[in-house]
Amino acid sequence: MEYVIHLSIVSGIVAILGMSLNLIVGYTGLLSVAHAAFYGIGAYVTAILLAGFGVNFFLALLLGMALAAAVALLIGLVLSRFDDDYYVLASLGLNIIIYSVFLNWNTLTRGPLGIPGISRPELGIGGYRFGLTSNFSFLVLTLLCAVLVYLAARFITRSSFGRVLMAIREDEQALQVFGYRTVYYKLAIFVIGAVMAAVAGALFASYITFIDPTSFMLRESIFMLSVIILGGLANTNGAVAGAVILVVLPELLRFVGLPSNIAAQMRLLLYGLALVLLMIYRPQGLFGKYRL
């Protein structure tokens, strides 16, 4: 049962990342590979405040979201100067810069040693304090955060703001002809996505109780892209489905009964084969409307 709860928590965290990135890539058409940076900012702010200063988890979460928003605003202003392939390359470079900060700012982040001893969240009611020390209680918190992000994403995509984002994806220049300052819309959704990613980072840090820079490398941004491509671009339900599949599928392959001497390699082979076949026969993903 604990194993199922663990997979559910990880799936919930990845689903938050998928839904937040889908607002940027799927709905707006901005191919960003900097999302792991905001995931890391949320995780590091939470880890530093909890492990170093004993700050309440929920206050640390809010501060992590605020810092992620500020950094996303600065990065978004830089990225707004680029289009198409240059946008991707610029976001890649910015992701590497922030990863380098995590790795080399030893006095704050402990560099490659990471930050251990991160505490679990605590709730205070009157004079009583309840620590979410069990995995089940943490699962409830994770699912609550995932539902809130899901509802926020649905509200955004069904609003007039969301319709403008979709129009930017289809033909930004035509939209500008009608007087829309599209750069502001792109900047706003970039910041919103970063704030949501910071929530996932805070949950990850508190759940694992240890973080280091390797959890926020470029490959994590690629994994997040895989989630929304598999689930389907411009579909919030698809982002959730992609997260669950990419978390659970590798674990299911542990029970296939492969020979122990080649089990690890064969699991990777089957995992990759399943993804390749899906991209060949369903290139828009499971629930998506568009191809990348």
In angstroms, the Cα distances linking 14 to 54, 55, 85 are 26, 25, 26
Assess contact for 208 and 43: CB atoms under 8 A.
no
Return the pLDDT at 152.
97
The pLDDT-based confidence of 107 (bands split at 50, 70, 90) is very high
Q: Which two tokens stand for residue 233?
A: 């671009």
Assess contact for 243 and 15: CB atoms under 8 A.
yes
Helix (H, G, I), strand (E, B) or coil at 130: strand
For the chain, the C-alpha Rg in angstroms (whole number) is 19
Residue pointed to by tokens 């750069």: 183
Q: Which two tokens stand for residue 127?
A: 């004079």
Higher pLDDT, 282 or 258: 282
Helix (H, G, I), strand (E, B) or coil at 82: coil
pLDDT in tens, 231-267: 989 999 999 999 999 899 888 877 777 677 776 777 7
pLDDT in tens, 48-94: 999 989 899 999 999 999 999 999 999 999 998 888 888 999 999 99
Q: How far is CA 33 from the centre of its chain?
A: 11
Compute φ and ψ for 96, nearest 5 degrees.
-65, -35
